[in-house]
Structure formats: structure tokens, C-alpha cells
Amino acid sequence: MQTPCNKEEGSGMQPSSSSSRRPKGTGRKKIEIKKIENKFSRKVTFTKRRKGLFKKTEKFCQLTDAEIAIIVFSNKGRLFSYGYPSVEHVVNRFLDEQCDDQSDPFSPEEVLEEEEEEEPLVGGGEEGYWFEESIDDLDSDQFEEYLCYLECLRKNLVLRVGELIMRRTSEIDFLKGFGN
């Protein structure tokens, strides 16, 4: 098996040497996939690749209609994110899934040869919780359910994170404005 393009690392193709219409001699080179030590180069690469990554992410979900969230923190603590239908929706679903997993040690439902629904219908119902209401307006049953829901959210963060430590919230959060 021989591929025309070298897999990941490895090289050895000269530009066809002599007669080229554009001997400008610049062009992409192969790079090692390890932390770029030069700070400026790293920033340039961060910018270029972040752009490319987010673009690819968008195309991916447009083509496949998948739900996606991508969250990036630069070295300096700047936040970049993209999500379909929204970062929060996907994060929420992710957390819910974690929550369900732990609530039900065994899966209660069989995975049947599922027909995928054509449209996720995100904009539809999904009232789920009483987001708009005040806690004070809830009766005791609702309040209990509410507590349960919040507790579920909390567990998501806690369970796996446990030893990961709630890192000290930070020295760098406030840098988000500028300073890049």
C-alpha cells in the first residue's frame, strides 16, 4: 500500500525542481505536532487553526445535522465557542446525559433500530423547566422538583470533576476583554 501523500510525519518531496511557473519558493511545510515553543508563532497558528477548526465545525453540523459544541480557551484565557443549535443546548444535553447515566446504572430502554427523526425541531416545545418563573412562585412540589433538577446539574459537574478540583476561579477570567 502506498499513498500518494505521506501520512502524518515524514516527508521528502521536492518542488519539481527546475521549470516551475512560480519559483516563489514559498509554501506549506510539514510541521511536528507538538507544542510550538515560539510564542509569536504559536499565536499565529492558534489564530489560523482556530478559524479553520470553527469553519470545519460549522460545515460538519450543516452537512450532517448533528448537534455540536466547541469551546476553546486560549493560553491567555480568552474564550471562543461555537454551538449548534447553541453551546448551552449541547452542554446541557451533555450534562443531562451524564446525569442520566449515573441515575440509572442500567439502561432502562432497549436501543432499537431507531428511525432518526428528520428534524430535531429545536425551536419547538422544550419547555422542560420553568426558566422564566421565580423560585418564590413555586409550590412545594415544584420546588422539590426544582431542587432535584438543580441537584442533577450539580452532580454533573461534581462527579467526574471531583479530583480535578474546582480550580480556583481565577486569576485570568478578567482578561477576557482585550489584551488578546
Partner DNA sequence: GTCTATCGATAAGT
Partner DNA sequence: ACTTATCGATAGAC
Map the footprint of a second copy across residues 79-98, applying CB under 8 A: 79-97
Give me the helix-helix angle, 87-103 and 140-159, nearest 10°: 90
Exposure pattern of 117-150 as b/e (b: 16+ CB <10 Å)? Answer: eeeeeeeeeeeeeeeeeeeeeeeeeeeeeeeeee
Measured CA to CA, the distance from residue 79 to residue 62 in angstroms comes to 23
What torsion, rounded to 10 degrees, do the Cα atoms 21, 25, 26, 30 define? 110
List the single partner that 20 binds among a second copy, DNA, none, CB under 5 to 8 Å by kind. Answer: DNA
Minimum CB separation of residue 83 from a second copy in Å reads: 7
72 binds DNA (CB under 7 A): no
Q: Least distance from C-beta 169 to a second copy, angstroms?
A: 5
Is residue 160 a contact residue for a second copy (CB under 8 A)? Answer: yes
Q: Binding to DNA by residue 24, rule CB under 7 A?
A: yes
Q: Is residue 64 at the binding interface for DNA, with CB under 7 A as the rule?
A: no
Number of shown-chain residues binding a second copy (CB under 8 A): 102
Given a second copy, DNA, none, residue 130, with its beta carbon under 5 to 8 Å by kind, binds none
Longest dimension (CA), the chain: 83
In angstroms, the CA 52 to CA 18 distance is: 33
Residue 145 CA to residue 133 CA, distance in Å, equals 14
* Cα–Cα distance for residue pair 96/156, rounded to 1 Å: 8
Q: Which does 141 bind (CB under 5 to 8 A by kind): DNA, a second copy, none?
A: none
Q: Which of 7, 10, 29, 114 binds a second copy (CB under 8 A)?
A: 114
Residue 102 touching a second copy (CB under 8 A) = no
Specify whether the CB–CB gap between 156 and 99 falls below 8 A.
yes
145 scored as a contact of a second copy (CB under 8 A): no
Residue numbers at the binding site for DNA (CB under 7 A): 1-6, 8, 11, 13-16, 20-22, 24-31, 41, 44-45, 47-49, 51-53, 55-56, 59
